[in-house]
Amino acid sequence: MNEQAEEQTERKAPLPPWLRVRYSGGKERLAMRKLLERAKLHTVCESAKCPNLCDCWQRRTATFMILGNNCSRNCKFCAVEHGRPEPVDPAEPGHVAEAVNALKLRYAVITCVTRDDLPDGGAAHMAATVNAIRSRNPETKVEVLCSDYQEQHSAIDCVLAAGPVVFGHNLETVARLTPLIRSHADYQRSLRVLRYAAEQAPTGTLVKSGLMLGLGETAAEIRQALADLRAADVRMVTMGQYLQPSKDNWPVARIITPDEFKQWADIAENDFGFQKAVCGPLVRSSYLAEEAYNG
Ligand code: SF4
């Protein structure tokens, strides 16, 4: 059996217990879906087929995905649809703000599809969304998870000026795998975006990034990515198990045990000095984001 066939076999094996999610909270999920439909909003929870959807929606929390449901890139790990991006809806920031209000969120996480077709990558729309949330919900803190904006400093400045408490941009994977897995992205460029955000961020704004494990990276490569993130002054990091969202996506190379994730959290915080490392099989950058921020 060749290496790829072995990987395929492993991928098709039943998931270990720690990756099996229980479907629950049907009533809450229905209520959330109705709210989203009424407001014409998308969530990365649904669009990226997040395994935590039942858990998060049952707790009446979700991560809003703005700027449409079609990404202008096509990363191999990602389930979000790609293709011709939709026109930007100027009413969307207000709708997100109302949804945050309806859900009584004290902490809102906003992400977006990548919009390479827009001159500012959608940064002004992201900033407008942060501002709308805070003006409708003055007590709510906002975390943003942004694209690389093709390293346009003006776009990063624009988002930071809106005052999110966390500016996130995911490195996603190690340097060697980046050109194979991420589309139109560059490992060093992502690091420069994070470094610039950390330099420009007002006091109190944390810069955060995330890695998926199980894509075929080695332990040495993970350590290098952690070192690179700290060198860019990233303070918070998340690490979770990559799960193949469909047969067309990149295959899972390895299942990481919960104990190994605990070790990575310990390494990230104690060896590399991250203020907070949230690591676990089902951790996603927005999973329990409020708890991680307060934490
Ligand atoms: S972890 Fe994030 S993306 Fe996944 S369901 Fe929860 S809020 Fe949504």
Q: Following DSSP, what letter does each residue of 264-282 receive, concatenated? A: HHHIIIIIS--SEEEE-TT
pLDDT of residue 10: 45
Is there a contact between 170 and 162 (Cβ–Cβ < 8 Å)?
A: no
Which residue's CA is minimally distant from atom 2 of ligand 1?
A: 286
pLDDT of residue 57: 93
pLDDT of residue 12: 60
**Whether residue 105 has its Cβ less than 6 Å from ligand 1:** no
**Whether residue 244 has its Cβ less than 6 Å from ligand 1:** no
- Under CATH, which architecture does the 3-294 domain have? Alpha-Beta Barrel (3.20)
What is the Cα gyration radius of the chain? 18
Taking the C-alpha atoms of residue 274 and residue 134, their distance in angstroms, rounded to an integer, is 28
168 three-class SS: strand
Q: What are the φ and ψ backbone dihedral angles of 222, each rounded to 5 degrees?
A: -65, -45
155 CA to centre of ligand 1 in angstroms: 25
pLDDT of residue 26: 86
For 25-74, how does the pLDDT look when each residue is reduced to its tens digit (9 = 90+)? Answer: 788 889 999 999 999 999 999 999 999 999 999 999 999 999 999 999 99
238 three-class SS: strand
Domain ranges of the chain: 3-294
286 CA to centre of ligand 1 in angstroms: 6
The model's pTM: 0.93
Which residue's CA is minimally distant from atom 7 of ligand 1?
A: 62
279 CA to centre of ligand 1 in angstroms: 15
pLDDT of residue 3: 35
- Strand 206-213 relative to strand 166-168: parallel, antiparallel, unpaired? parallel
165 CA to centre of ligand 1 in angstroms: 18
Is there a contact between 264 and 249 (Cβ–Cβ < 8 Å)?
A: no
- Strand 141-145 relative to strand 63-66: parallel, antiparallel, unpaired? unpaired
Both tokens assigned to 265: 């959290």
Tell me which residues of the chain have a pLDDT lower than 50: 1-11
**Whether residue 108 has its Cβ less than 6 Å from ligand 1:** no
Q: Which atom of ligand 1 is nearest to the CA of 284?
A: 1
SS3 content of the chain, % helix, strand, coil (to 5): 40, 15, 45
**What residue ranges in the chain does DSSP mark as E strands?**
42-43, 63-66, 107-112, 141-145, 166-168, 206-213, 236-241, 276-279
36 CA to centre of ligand 1 in angstroms: 14
Of 75, 110, 36, 55, the residue nearest 286 (C-alpha): 110
Region of 223 (left: φ > 0; alpha: ψ -120 to 50; beta: rest) is alpha
